[in-house]
Structures are given as C-alpha cells and as structure tokens.
Structure 1
C-alpha cells in the first residue's frame, strides 16, 4: 500500500492520508501489518504522530479508536507502548492545553480497557484532576471491568471512581461501585457479579 519511492516516514504519512480519505478500519490494519512485516517496524515518531493527530481532530475517529482498542491495546506486546505514545506520556500537558488535547484524552481513555492496570493507572489518576475528563474516566473504568481483556485493580479503581463528579443518575455508576467494592476485577471472571449488582439496585429487573 506504500509508495516505494518515499522514505519510510513519508510512507506512513501517506497511509494516514489514505485513512483520512477512506475512513476505513482496514487502512489501520495495513499500517499495523507494515509495522510488523519484514520491512518494519515503521518509524515510531511518524506512526504515533499519525494516531495522535487523528485522535485530536474534530471529526469522527472510530476507525482510529477501534484500531487502538482491538489491535494495539489488546496485544500485550504492544499495549504499554501504544498507550504511552497516544496518552500516557503526556496526559498532563495534553489534557490541560487545548480542546483538541481533551478530545484525544477522552477518546484514548474510553478505549483503554484492555491496557494493563499498572500501565494506565497513572494516566487515570492524572485525568481525575481535570473535571472535564471525569465522564471519560468513568467510561474507562466501566470498560476495564466489562471488556473481555479488561484489566483493573478493584480497590484502586474504586478510589478513582469515588473521586469523580458525575451527573446524577449516571447509568451503571451504582453497579460499578458495587462490583468494585466486592473486589471483582472483570465481568468475565465473575460472570454473576454484574447481574447481582443490578438486582441490588433494581430488585424488579
């Protein structure tokens, strides 16, 4: 998919330009395949700059966030590096700087469920300091519990959850607090815990 007369960094930029044009997840798959192929890895600066720019853009980013979630964050071999590059290394500067930075932080947090807890917890703690990110942190904790590969530490997650200021009636807030207080790490490891939490707050369901 890359033009052979370009250097590797320009090839990466061209690939992301194709993603902008087509807005299709398969383009991100081709980028990942090229990174893992015989001529890889791709230049890291160009690769992650491409992701960061599209996470900050005021346009739909579903292909990019889906790529992060299922390709980079679910893979233990790439998860820590990917999370650090798109948010973990600069969350303090990004979140406080501009609306585009907030947009990137929200998008990454909301798809970060599969990232190892020890990797993402510092970013979660930093995000809690900024009220504008509280809904995204809540979504991050919720998906960390529900995602098939989600990871969290219940006591630490509950501490973060209790620091969030969320709208009254936020859906699933009570249930999430219930399962975390009971020490459950993941919906799929404790398959009855969520249903029990629902019954606790809605006995007729």
Structure 2
C-alpha cells in the first residue's frame, strides 16, 4: 500500500487524479480516462524523474499496484533494456516477487513474466531463477502461504522457460503436494504454448509421479502425447486430437 500511495501522490503531481468512474487530468478534466489510458500516458514518465534508478523502479511498481495494468510492466522492461545501465536487479526482481506473493490478483504480473520475460530466451533463465528457481528449496521448506502463492503462479506460466532451466525446479516443487497441481499446469503449458518447451520422456516421468485427482482434466491426454514423444502442440498439431479420441 505504501508504494501504491506514493504512486497516487506522483500522479497527482502530474495533474492526474482518480474519480468515481475512472481517472481525470487537469489538462482535460472533462475527459474520463481508464486505468489503461493512464498507464500508457504516464507510466513511462516515471523513468524520467530525478530519482535514483531504484526509486524509479519502486515508483513504477507502485503504479502497477494502483492501476493494475500490464502496460506498466512494459515500461519497466523498456527502461531495463534502454541503452543506459539496466535497472538494479535486486529491486526489479524483488518487485516481481512481492506482487507474486500478494493476496490479490496478479494477472498483469504473471502475463508480463509469460509473454515478455519467459518467452525471450535471452532473459528467461535469469527471470525464472529470480522469481522462483533460486529459492524453490526455501519455498518447499517453509511452505508459507505467500511463498506457495508465488510458486503456483510462476509454475503455471512457466511453459516458455527452457526445459533445462525449469526441470530442477519442477522436481523440487513436486515434493510438496500443495504444488503438484501447479507443476501439472506448468507441464500442460509447456506442451501447448507456442513457445513451450519440454523433453517428453523427462516430462512424462514427472507427470507420472504427480499426486493429482484421478479426474484431473487433460491429464490422460498429456500422458498420451508425452508417451508418444511429442514435444509441442504446434510441432505436432494432430497429436492432441488423437489423444482426445483415444
């Protein structure tokens, strides 16, 4: 909430304030703005502020908390990829981890991980390690609700992460029954995502060991395609239909 309130104050300094049905600016007070319009118009300006890079990142995450718009995460990544120094990694990834652990909707954060950080194989190893891989042992040992929430969210959107990067984390996560369903959804995404990545034999070995309800949707189909050594839905477009009919 502290970061969110700081972002609200910053927007007010820009002449932008929240009203009952949206947002308005002092420049055009008669025009009602959506949170998405506010994000597109002002989020990038955070990184032009006379603040340290760490303070800029924290302010940007505060805007994300306030607006709940994926575009804010785009501006964060644009700033990280600028020709100048990248953003401080400790602050950047702490911002992601905190929001993945929060007991509130995290769709903008998980979508950002999935389509921006995880689909890009130049960034996915680092991103996956920072949001889960580096501390999966701690997650399994401590089992706090916040850590489990983060783990579930990351595992479920981890389809595009290279198999060699995520496989050790899957193996550790599956030791905890509370994460077995999330590992399953990670495997499912690894097969179905356009950029999904898995090794069929290794993925099948994990699937067989997962403690899942017998009526888990798509479990049988996934077992079928992996046993047939298919790596990805888009590389074998008829394989899933064959599994459904079998």
* TM-score category of the 2 structures, normalised to the smaller one: over 0.9
Q: What aligned pairs does 1:20-31 form with structure 2 within 5 A after superposition? A: 20-31=65-76
> Partners in 2 of 1:168 and 1:158 — Cα distance?
16
Paired residue for 1:146, among 192, 195, 198? 192
2:120 to 75, 84, 95: 75
Q: How does 1:79-98 map to 2 (within 5 A)?
A: 79-97=124-142, 98=144
1:122 to 168, 172, 181: 168
SS at match of 2:209: coil
Counterpart residue number, 1:13: 58
Partner of 1:109 in structure 2? 155
Q: How far 1:167 moved relative to its partner? A: 1.2
**Alignment-derived partner of residue 203 in structure 1:** none
Query: d(CA) in 2 for partners of 1:64 and 1:77?
Result: 19
Q: In the superposition, relative to structure 1, how do residues 78 and 60 fare at CA in structure 2: closer, same or farther (>3 Å)?
A: same
SS in 2 for 1:162: helix
Deviates more, 1:45-54 or 1:3-12: 3-12
Report the RMSD for the aligned CA atoms in angstroms.
0.8
Deviations 1:11-60 (A, max 9, x none): 10000000000000000000000000123310000000000000000000
Residues 95 and 105, structure 1, Cα contact 8 Å, conserved in 2: no
Q: Is contact 1:145-1:151 (8 Å) kept?
A: yes
| CA distance in structure 2 between the partners assigned to 1:162 and 1:155 by the alignment | 11
Instruction: Show CA shifts across 1:113-147 (max 9, x none).
Output: 00000000000000010000000000000000000
- SS of the residue aligned with 1:156? helix
**Higher deviation after alignment, 90-99 or 65-74:** 90-99
**Cα distance between partner residues in 1 of 2:85 and 2:77:** 9
Equivalent residue runs for 1:36-75 within 5 Å: 36-75=81-120
- Partner of 1:89, secondary structure, is helix
Note the residue ranges of structure 1 that are not aligned, 5 or more in a row.
201-205
In the TM superposition, residue 96 of structure 1 has moved relative to its aligned partner by 3.3
1:103 is paired with a residue whose SS is helix
Q: Which residue of 1 aligns with 2:210?
A: 164
Structure-1 residue corresponding to 2:35:
none
**TM-score by structure 2 length?**
0.80
Normalization by structure 1: what TM-score? 0.96
Determine if contact 1:111/1:140 at 8 Å carries over to the other structure.
Answer: yes
Whole-Å separation in 2 of the counterparts to 1:89 and 1:61: 21
Alignment partner, residue 33 of structure 1: 78
- 8 Å CA contact 1:96–1:102 kept in 2: the answer is no
User: Structure 2: how far apart are the matches of 1:52 and 1:39?
Assistant: 25
Rg larger for: 2
